[in-house]
Structure 1
């Protein structure tokens, strides 16, 4: 099978500019002509294997990080934005979109932001009957959306916090000790913070009294949750300066977005502390990504483990590129990230044929699915239901499904693939991203027609759908 050509002009140009070299000098160090370098930088020619090796040898460029999922995420968001009828019916080719994503990522992000503003305006205006109230808030992203996109486009990996957490985990010997005990000792000895039970009627998971130096935890939360909340508090106490710097660089529009991001970054540190990068990466490979065994080994929950697997994106030491999502019973995706080619829709519900929805029907089971998206890429998808509650029988419990998966070429790294038949094409279920951008014309679960397709209605014939997609 032929390998896809690699166009990385922007990356090469950025490397040359960072080296403060002219095209002639940079080309000489790479052992190529200046005209060839100029064509590479303008994406007129792909890079050869020899050029890639020269980049790695001469400029310490991480080859594994080139052409990865950054462009896939941006390309997916751009395709979805331009699939909207507001684009005026234009249909840029995939190659044209790739050129924009690769050569002008800032322009692509600006276009996506414009589409987001349009969507919010449309949804807001549709909710009014007679009165229209126009404010800037209608066209600006919500703080939550800003933070979601921040993590999305940094590949859900924060190097500074990840390395700091790993260093602290090594210092505390977390992989050889009970995590909860080690974190209690660290808070008491290094921060003079005492751990106490939260009041039964407080209804909190965590509450920190800064003046009294007491961290109150819900005694009925699982041990993994209590450990995570202690790790969160350590991040808040020890990583404030680093988190401030990350938020400053992100340049959020509002203070609310900055504070939401602060919570997200402290959560990130907590996960990285409980599941330190190198130890977790080695264990994931050794245990073939068995979520239950990883959870037991690290004293974590299934969701914490699955989420952490999606953050293993350290340059030069990456894990298997996976997608991860958390879905509620209404189909809302409340957490999402993908280091694979599968990118989740930014608007609308997820495909109903995806096995994540089946998890609610079989609590406690791992639902495995072989799936194929309209672009012909095949995946292994694993889903299970998780319930969260901090009380007894009468207390409400939140129920979610978590889904984790990878492209089929990596399926052998997962224990869940052992009993599946990869040789039979019929084993792969056709799924999409969302109905509004899915091109399948014969799907029995289709909710709405694709945005860029015309439909025909035959009043004398009814098939799976009341219309035909042209």
Structure 2
């Protein structure tokens, strides 16, 4: 396979500025000419292999910083935004979008923020009664939920300081069967600060009274959920300074966004403590990423394990780049993250050809799919249903499906790839991202026409769709 060229001029400039070096001094350190360095910093040339090696040897830098994953996210998000009918005229070529994402990422984010503001205003105007009753809030900003979602999205869903603090916390847990007992560790930590824990027969999963220092937990919840909620409360009560510092760096635009992010960071701590980075990564490799075995070893749920696999992005110790997604019964994406080049639609549901939608039809089973996206990249995709019972006959059951996958070159490290014909091109099913930006012209499951292509409507001919998409 041909090595992918790395165009990362903006990141190369950032590295030089962090080192407080002039272009001339930096070029001398890297043993390249000044014009050549200038061309690399302006993405006129890819980063040379010798430069990558020099960055590692001369400066001890983690060369994964040069990864173009953030640029690919920006390109994917810009393509979806520019497919909106509000942008009339010819669509910018993909090469131009990649140039903007690589050379001017701040400009790309500004474009996305502008589009968010437009969509927000448009949605409010579509429901005038709701707009009049909105209390005068600004309609020209992302919703707090979207702002927090994007914060984690562009951090690769990995917060180093919080992750390491959680791992350090887990190191103090007693071992049971060779694995840390995080439930006992959390209970001890709460007792140390004077918090009393009570398990009660109620539908409220977790409730904390700061005055009495009583933490109430539902005894109807699964054991993995109870442990997670204990660790969440530990984070809120003992990691306040760390979470506060992270919120300060994020600079959220509203108190609501900061409050949502605080919960998200406490959840992050809980997941990282329940599945501590180093030990979890070792077990992932030892079991060949067998989700059921890891869930059993760590006392976690399938969803928790799958989500954690997608966050193994620690510099110098990265795991396999996975994507992770959770969808509800209507196909709406409720959680999404991708450390791969596959990026999910920001609005609407996922491609109906993807196996995650079939998981709800086959409860308790892992579905495997070899899939190919329109850009020619191939993936091994897993899907499984996830049910969250309410704990009593009358309580509603929440049903979701989770999807996990990686590019096919990593498939050999997964037990789920056994007996699959990875070399057979016909074994890969064509999938897309979102119908409105999908480039496929002959998809039988298309729900809406692609905005980037012209349509041919022939009243005398009817195929699968009432129109044809020009190639």
Normalising by structure 1, what TM-score? 0.96
Measure how far apart 1:36 and its partner are.
1.1
Measure how far apart 1:310 and its partner are.
0.9
* Corresponding residue number in structure 2 for 1:187: 190
| Contact kept? 1:374, 1:431, Cα under 8 Å | yes
Q: Tell me, in whole angstroms, the C-alpha distance in 2 between the residues paired with 1:95 and 1:459.
A: 37
Q: Tell me, in whole angstroms, the C-alpha distance in 1 between the residues paired with 2:83 and 2:260.
A: 30
Q: Tell me, in whole angstroms, the C-alpha distance in 2 between the residues paired with 1:390 and 1:9.
A: 51
| Contact kept? 1:369, 1:382, Cα under 8 Å | yes
> Does 2:438 match 1:438?
yes
Measure how far apart 1:125 and its partner are.
2.5
* Corresponding residue number in structure 1 for 2:369: 369
* Corresponding residue number in structure 2 for 1:416: 416
Q: Tell me, in whole angstroms, the C-alpha distance in 1 between the residues paired with 2:57 and 2:283.
A: 30
Measure how far apart 1:128 and its partner are.
4.3
* Corresponding residue number in structure 2 for 1:349: 349
| Contact kept? 1:294, 1:305, Cα under 8 Å | yes
| Contact kept? 1:444, 1:464, Cα under 8 Å | yes
Measure how far apart 1:223 and its partner are.
0.6
Q: Tell me, in whole angstroms, the C-alpha distance in 2 between the residues paired with 1:301 and 1:235.
A: 20
Q: Tell me, in whole angstroms, the C-alpha distance in 1 between the residues paired with 2:373 and 2:89.
A: 24
Write out per-residue CA displacement over residues 371-417 of structure 1, whole angstroms, 9 at most, x where no aligned residue. Answer: 11111111111011111123122211100001100011111111111
User: Which stretch of structure 1 is more off in the superposition, 455-464 or 74-83?
Assistant: 74-83
Q: Tell me, in whole angstroms, the C-alpha distance in 1 between the residues paired with 2:16 and 2:457.
A: 57
Q: Tell me, in whole angstroms, the C-alpha distance in 2 between the residues paired with 1:354 and 1:3.
A: 28
Call closer, same or farther: CA 1:129–1:191 in 2, change over 3 Å: closer
Q: Tell me, in whole angstroms, the C-alpha distance in 1 between the residues paired with 2:94 and 2:276.
A: 39
How does 1:124-273 map onto structure 2 within 5 Å? 124-128=124-128, 137-173=138-174, 176-188=179-191, 190-198=192-200, 200-201=201-202, 203-273=203-273
| Contact kept? 1:75, 1:97, Cα under 8 Å | yes
Measure how far apart 1:146 and its partner are.
0.5
Measure how far apart 1:347 and its partner are.
1.2
SS in 1 for 2:346: coil
The unaligned stretches of length 5 or more in structure 1 are none
SS in 2 for 1:330: coil
| Contact kept? 2:29, 2:58, Cα under 8 Å | yes
Measure how far apart 1:211 and its partner are.
2.2
Call closer, same or farther: CA 1:383–1:258 in 2, change over 3 Å: same
Q: Tell me, in whole angstroms, the C-alpha distance in 2 between the residues paired with 1:322 and 1:312.
A: 9
Call closer, same or farther: CA 1:85–1:321 in 2, change over 3 Å: same
SS in 1 for 2:219: coil
User: Which stretch of structure 1 is more off in the superposition, 308-317 or 58-67?
Assistant: 58-67
| Contact kept? 1:180, 1:223, Cα under 8 Å | no
Q: Tell me, in whole angstroms, the C-alpha distance in 1 between the residues paired with 2:439 and 2:180.
A: 51
| Contact kept? 1:380, 1:411, Cα under 8 Å | yes
Q: Tell me, in whole angstroms, the C-alpha distance in 1 between the residues paired with 2:459 and 2:184.
A: 70
SS in 1 for 2:348: coil
Q: Tell me, in whole angstroms, the C-alpha distance in 2 between the residues paired with 1:68 and 1:298.
A: 33
Q: Tell me, in whole angstroms, the C-alpha distance in 1 between the residues paired with 2:16 and 2:97.
A: 24
Q: Tell me, in whole angstroms, the C-alpha distance in 2 between the residues paired with 1:398 and 1:343.
A: 26
* Corresponding residue number in structure 1 for 2:43: 43
User: Which stretch of structure 1 is more off in the superposition, 345-354 or 168-177?
Assistant: 168-177
User: Which stretch of structure 1 is more off in the superposition, 273-282 or 96-105?
Assistant: 96-105
Measure how far apart 1:18 and its partner are.
1.3
Q: Tell me, in whole angstroms, the C-alpha distance in 1 between the residues paired with 2:4 and 2:185.
A: 48
SS in 2 for 1:87: coil
The unaligned stretches of length 5 or more in structure 2 are none
Q: Tell me, in whole angstroms, the C-alpha distance in 2 between the residues paired with 1:409 and 1:392.
A: 45
SS in 2 for 1:86: coil
Q: Tell me, in whole angstroms, the C-alpha distance in 1 between the residues paired with 2:132 and 2:297.
A: 56
Write out per-residue CA displacement over residues 41-88 of structure 1, whole angstroms, 9 at most, x where no aligned residue. Answer: 111111211111111111222123322422221121111112222222
* Corresponding residue number in structure 2 for 1:338: 338
Aligned length: 467
Write out per-residue CA displacement over residues 137-163 of structure 1, whole angstroms, 9 at most, x where no aligned residue. Answer: 333211100100000001100000000
* Corresponding residue number in structure 2 for 1:9: 9
User: Which stretch of structure 1 is more off in the superposition, 416-425 or 102-111?
Assistant: 416-425
* Corresponding residue number in structure 2 for 1:302: 302
Q: Tell me, in whole angstroms, the C-alpha distance in 1 between the residues paired with 2:104 and 2:278.
A: 34
Q: Tell me, in whole angstroms, the C-alpha distance in 2 between the residues paired with 1:108 and 1:130.
A: 31
SS in 1 for 2:4: coil
User: Which stretch of structure 1 is more off in the superposition, 45-54 or 134-143?
Assistant: 134-143
SS in 2 for 1:234: helix
Q: Tell me, in whole angstroms, the C-alpha distance in 2 between the residues paired with 1:237 and 1:419.
A: 48
Measure how far apart 1:129 and its partner are.
9.1
